[in-house]
Amino acid sequence: MKKTGLLLLLCLAVAVAAAAQQADSTSTDQTAPQGTLNTTRSFPIERVQNPTHADLYCGGFVSKQLVANTNFVAGGIESPNTTKFATDDIIFLAGHGYETGQQYEIVRELQDPNQYELFAGQHAMLKAMGQPYGELGRVRIVDARGKMAVAHVEFSCEAILPGDVAIPFAEKPAITFHLPERFDRLMPSNGKASGRIVLAKDFDLLLGTGSKIYMNLGANQGVKVGDYLRAVRSYDADLRDPVDSLSFKASTADDSQKKTPSIEGHMFTKTNGPSIHVADMPRRAVGEIVVINTTPTTATGMIVFALEDVHVGDHVELDQ
């Protein structure tokens, strides 16, 4: 009797699993792009990471309009022994126009100490975009009676230092998130506004989900907070990369091949076969970006989905 019961339970479990698999397959078929193969390699399910409060207010920005540096951090209640300030610290602000209860954002004018160009033309492109700024935190004025205002650090992204600039705080608009959907890795250009990832937060090169980036397109091109962009890369961009190009230059031939191909002429051995033109290969999408801040000519974005490393220098395009 016990064996019969166990057998029935086993059969029931198998039937339920088969039904669930069939339902999942049916659902996948219904959401597959029309006229394309139903494969998760070309159309993986995109599950975006929603930006947090810290992501929205710590992203930084690039602007042609320079931030006035007349109001700035002069020190703190424990100066000179303490020079780095964070949440709940008391700091002193030099400058004018402070009133008790006002909120200010603390920002920092940034420069890359390495001065290394991550892609050809990066420095000229960044100069055309404007000055990069880091967003460090938010403070509230608690006393404005003296020559310097006293402020309480309500929220900090990273250490606030003497010399960092105080500007009036402004609430940022909310972002509408989209549900998981299929991500077309080989989708051709849709002709919408496009640009390039020119810089990344902390001057990073290899980026992933959660990374903040700065792009050379903005409100003048119709880009607004909450828009989604797709990061794309061509294979000839890999060919121009000093590291990724090494794989293109490696031999792929087999001893059984009578005629071996070459890739743009890059082979270590003599070939007698066709030449593969990398520029003719379709571009591939590598990630999805949501816009969290804009200026007329620039936009700050957060990578919310990445299939592989996103690079500074990758192109971006407004998504469908």
Say if 292 falls within a structural domain: no
- CATH number, domain of 111, equals 2.40.30
Residue 293 reports pLDDT greater than 90? yes
Q: With CA atoms as reference, report the closest residue to 105 among 164, 147, 52.
A: 164
Q: Which stretches within the chain are classed as H helix?
A: 2-31, 53-57, 122-129, 235-240, 245-249
**In the predicted model, is pLDDT for residue 88 greater than 80?**
yes
Query: Is position 88 within any domain?
Result: yes
**Residue 235 domain flag:** no
Residue 74 inside a domain? The answer is yes
CB-CB contact of 289 with 231 (8 Å): yes
pLDDT of residue 297: 95
Residue 92: inside a domain, yes or no?
A: yes
- Calpha distance 163→173 (Å, rounded): 28
- Give me the mean pLDDT over the 211-236 stretch: 95
Residue 33 confidence (pLDDT): 47
Q: Tell me if residue 92 falls in helix, strand or coil.
A: strand
Q: How confident is the model at residue 143 (pLDDT cuts 50, 70, 90)?
A: very high
Q: Is the pLDDT of residue 41 over 80?
A: no
Q: What is the pLDDT of residues 101-126, one digit of tens each?
A: 999 999 999 999 998 999 999 999 99
| pLDDT for position 23 | 41
**Which residues are paired to 200 by β-bridges?**
213
- Provide the domain count of the chain: 1
Higher local confidence (pLDDT), 297 or 184: 297
- The DSSP secondary-structure symbol of 254 reads -
pLDDT beyond 80 at 220: yes
Residue 109 lies in a domain: yes
User: b/e map of 63-83 (b: 16 or more CB within 10 Å)?
Assistant: beeebeeebebbbbeeeeeee
Residue 177 in tokens:
């998130």
Query: Which domain range does residue 91 map to?
Result: 54-168
Phi/psi at 130 (nearest 5 deg)?
A: 130, -155
For 253-291, write each residue's pLDDT tens digit.
788 888 887 776 454 445 677 888 888 889 999 999 999
Q: Is residue 265 part of a domain?
A: no
Residue 118 lies in a domain: yes
